[in-house]
Amino acid sequence: MQTTFLEKYQKARKEKDSILCIGLDPGLREFRRGDVVPLKYERGDVEKGLLEFCLETIEETADYACAIKPNSQYLLFTLSIKELKKITRKARENGLISILDHKLSDIGSTNDAAFYWIKEAGFDALTYSPFAGNIQEATNASHKRELGLLVLTYMSNIEAGWIQKQSLYEWKPLYQKIAEEIRTYESDGAIMGATGHITMDDIRMVRQQIGAEPLILFPGVGRQGGSLKPPIQAGGDNILINIGRDVIYDKNPGQKAKEYQKQIKQEIKDYKNQLEKQRRTAK
Amino acid sequence: MQTTFLEKYQKARKEKDSILCIGLDPGLREFRRGDVVPLKYERGDVEKGLLEFCLETIEETADYACAIKPNSQYLLFTLSIKELKKITRKARENGLISILDHKLSDIGSTNDAAFYWIKEAGFDALTYSPFAGNIQEATNASHKRELGLLVLTYMSNIEAGWIQKQSLYEWKPLYQKIAEEIRTYESDGAIMGATGHITMDDIRMVRQQIGAEPLILFPGVGRQGGSLKPPIQAGGDNILINIGRDVIYDKNPGQKAKEYQKQIKQEIKDYKNQLEKQRRTAK
């Protein structure tokens, strides 16, 4: 029987003892390791430079993470299917799941063209924007191609609020309705920012709506200024914490990933101790 | 002074006497001319096959259209910046504007990476999904890179209704609020389906909100079953009518594009006559 995306996530997470996801977002202007701009890029060979940067980042961080999340806007104009396959293969060989941060947002026939190519490239899942309203159709079509689908629910940028929280569908904030659809149509999870405009209550609401099993992927920690506490204290067990620029541009990405892994584990431990204490006091 | 996207549109439209846009959406399963599967694809060289298919379609239809709209989900996994440049150059040489149907939907820094690459590839504009709420930021950033921004407003697929029309922001349907933002932040236009669930009133409302000058791009005519009447009778002057599969898979795409151009001109003429008649009767 086929392993589902959520089973792959559980396996990787257990093996790595980590819920850290590495965001591969190499922007051309920032593209560096500490103070060093990779040679290949300096010489103008952007394609090779970007590919090597991604492969190197995967190798160095793989011991401390359980997933990678390359973003299409940074990579897809220079890398094509052949190079994407190298990235997903490197991830798989290192025990990581790979999620294409694609924010797909099209009509059914066009979405399916994307699913075809994303599967060809070897990804385990993709991110999906529900603006076109077709969560059910997209979930079914992606599952047919053995891809997990993670749905944008309440995004990390501050401008997301007016449409995702303040807009109402049947008197409910849109993000709540999206969370309901994730559960109803059995998508693989939600995406929520770990940034300041999203409250612990927002996160608890989404976890309650989607149920215990689906994933919540949290971008926004690190350069975007988000905090580890909300995802860990309100997100439930099955979460992924994404760190992008703060790890990939460090002069030692492996060391940086290790620090984040440690920090996350400490936060989880502290929170469990705190809960235990509250339980005892309540008796 | 730099020519704006809307000026480029006016020029192309005038020169071609056409508001037809050719949707370059070559799906692998359907990929053919009439009954003939292009040779290069049969031999398994998908990249060359797709590129030649696009270049050929542009050449054959250029006399009858004023724009091309290649969709990222069909092309971006196999073609990269070098091939995209060939497509936009071919369009420019043939007097066509080129719009990347990208439905971009990310946070600011990531959107700007996409703008960078889309400009590099030679496109004049792109399509944008407003789900992240950052219409102002995206409009400013795309204009800085001399790209036009067309915003999804009410989409051609039937499932779009619950989120784009039935969801309310301050008691207004979401698509109306999006149209207001397009005007306020001076984006280059809206995208609305020419399909059955979108009424003439919906289209009139959007045209009224965005003002007379910005573009409305209408996909949905042809294989998706949409009709020419609503865009022409309710969309105002500055519109683009997109036809994709119905032209590109025809055994004679040029002939098919010519027929559509003629049909569109006839519809406009009929509508103007009808208006004139009503004016006379009213006197």
CATH number of the domain bearing residue B40: 3.20.20.70
- ipTM, two decimals, is 0.96
Give the C-alpha distances (Å, rounded to integers) separating B91 from A211, B2, B61. Answer: 50, 19, 10
A111 and B73 within 8 Å at the Cβ level: the answer is yes
Query: What φ, ψ does residue A69 adopt, rounded to 5°?
Result: -140, 85
Query: Could you say which residues from 64 to 83 on chain A have a Cβ atom under 8 Å away from some Cβ of chain B?
Result: 71-74, 76-81
Closest-CA residue of B relative to A135 is: B159
Helix boundaries (H) for chain B: 5-16, 39-42, 46-61, 72-75, 81-93, 108-120, 135-144, 161-164, 174-184, 200-210, 229-234, 245-248, 253-282
Chain A: nearest CA to B120, how far in angstroms?
9
How many angstroms separate the CA atoms of A279 and B122, rounded?
A: 62
Q: What is the pLDDT of residue B38?
A: 67
The per-residue pLDDT string of chain B (283 residues; one tens digit each, 9 = 90 and over) reads 679 999 999 999 999 999 999 999 998 766 777 777 765 666 668 888 899 999 999 999 999 999 999 999 999 999 999 999 999 999 999 999 999 999 999 999 999 999 999 999 999 999 999 999 999 999 999 999 999 999 999 999 999 999 999 999 999 999 999 999 999 999 999 999 999 899 999 999 999 999 999 999 999 998 888 999 999 999 999 999 999 999 999 999 999 999 999 999 999 999 999 999 999 998 7
Round to whole Å and give the CA distance between A107 and A138. 9
Distance (Å) from the alpha carbon of A275 to chain B's nearest alpha carbon: 35
A27, A113, A160 member nearest B74 (Cβ): A113
Could you give the number of structural domains in chain B?
A: 1
Q: Looking at beta carbons, which residues of chain A come within 8 Å of B165?
A: none
Q: How far apart (Å, rounded) are the C-alpha atoms in residues A223 and A221? A: 7
User: What is the rounded distance in angstroms from the CA atom of residue B11 to the CA atom of residue B6?
Assistant: 9
Nearest beta carbon to residue B106 from set A103, A166, A169: A103
Structure confidence at residue A39 (pLDDT):
54
**What residues of B are in contact with residue A85 (Cβ under 8 Å)?**
none
Task: Select from B79, B80, B167 the Cβ nearest to the Cβ of A167.
Answer: B167
Closest by Cβ to B108, choosing from A72, A78, A157: A157
- Which residues of chain A are within 8 Å of residue B84 when distances are taken between CB atoms? 77
pTM, full prediction: 0.96
CA dihedral B174, B227, B97, B6 (to 10 degrees): -50
A225 touching chain B per CB within 8 A: no
CA-nearest of A73, A240, A227 to B132 is A73
For A24, which residue in chain B has the nearest alpha carbon?
B110
Those of residues 141-200 in B touching chain A at CB distance below 8 A are 152, 155-157, 159-164, 166-170, 174, 177
Q: How far is CA B217 from CA A278, B23, B188, B260, in A?
A: 58, 11, 10, 16
Instruction: Give residue A46's pLDDT.
Output: 84
* pLDDT given for residue A27 in this prediction: 83
**Amino acid B40: pLDDT:** 61
Q: For residue A113, which residues of chain B lie inside 8 Å, CB to CB?
A: 25, 27-28, 71, 73-74
Q: Flag whether residue A10 sits within 8 Å of chain B, measured between CB atoms.
A: no
Residues composing chain B: 283
Q: Which of residues 204-223 of B touch A (CB under 8 A)?
A: none
Structural domain span for residue A173: 5-282
Lookup: tokens for B230:
């609503």
CB contact under 8 A, B169 and A157: no
Q: Quick one: residue B95, left, alpha or beta (phi over 0 = left, psi -120 to 50 = alpha)?
A: left
Q: Is B95 exposed, middle or buried (0-12, 13-18, 19+ CB in 10 A)?
A: middle
Going from the first residue of chain A to its last (283 residues), give the mean pLDDT of each consecutive group of 10, the final group possibly shorter: 92 98 87 69 77 95 98 95 97 98 96 96 98 98 98 97 97 98 98 95 98 97 90 97 95 96 97 94 84
